[in-house]
Structure 1
Amino acid sequence: MPEPIPSITLPPPEDPQQEGVWLQTSLQQWLDQEFIPEAINQQIAQRASQIFVRQRMEGENDLGSLVIAIVTEMQSFNFRESFFSEFAIANAVSDLLLDSLGIDRCCGS
């Protein structure tokens, strides 16, 4: 029987607001590079960052739970002017966080 994938726990936040600024900047850069720079990308990055910061301030450190929170709360965001969806945003946030922690996200390792 295959082993379950272990959860990833982020270190407790030292400065959630600074984490939010980093995430917003990094996510907007990713969005702009993935397709084309669009004004809506700034709004998407800002909203995802707000969700992330609030979750971190409430004590959430589990990456999976943070991703679910972003998917859930971004469902109310109007993505009509964007190439992205709430799932793409949550996955991008997860990838950015894993990269920042030096965790290889390729091939399940």
Structure 2
Amino acid sequence: MSEPIPPITLPPSQNPQQEGEWLQKSLHRWLNEEFIPEAVNQEIARRAAQIYVRQRLEGENDLGSLVIAILTEMQAFDFSKSFYSEFAIANAVSDLLLDSLGIDRCCGQ
């Protein structure tokens, strides 16, 4: 039987606003590079970063919980002018955070 993937805990936030600014810029860049640049990408990145910062201010350090919060709250966002969905955004945030921590996200490693 395979082993469950252990949870990933982010270090406690020293500066949630700075983390949010980094996430917003990084996500916006990712959104523009993954498909084509769209005006709505800025708003998507801003909203995802807001959710992330609020969660971190509330003391959330578990990556899985952060991803679920972003997924859940982004369901209220109007993606009709975008190629993306709340699932793509939550997954992109997870990938960006894992990359920033130096964690290889390939193949469950």
CA RMSD for the aligned pairs? 0.3
Which residue does 2:22 correspond to in 1? 22
Tell me the TM-score normalised to structure 1 length: 0.99
Q: Aligned residue pairs: how many?
A: 109
Unaligned runs of 5+ in 1: none
**Deviations along 1:10-50, whole A, 9 cap, x unmatched?**
00000000000000000000000001111100000000000
- 1:71 corresponds to: 71
- Taking only the aligned residue pairs, the percentage that are identical comes to 78
Which position in structure 1 is the counterpart of 2:32? 32
Q: Please list every run of at least 4 consecutive aligned residues from structure 1 whose deviation after the TM superposition is greater than 6 angstroms.
A: none
Give the 3-state SS of the residue equivalent to 1:10 in structure 2.
coil
Give the letter for the 1:72 counterpart: T
Tell me the equivalent position of 2:8: 8
> SS at 1:107's partner residue?
helix
> Which TM-score applies when normalising by structure 2?
0.99
C-alpha displacement of 1:2:
1.2
CA-to-aligned-CA distance 1:28-86 (integer Å, 9 cap, x gap): 00000001111100000000000000000000000000000000000000000000000
Tell me the distance in 2 between the aligned counterparts of 1:47 and 1:31.
Answer: 13
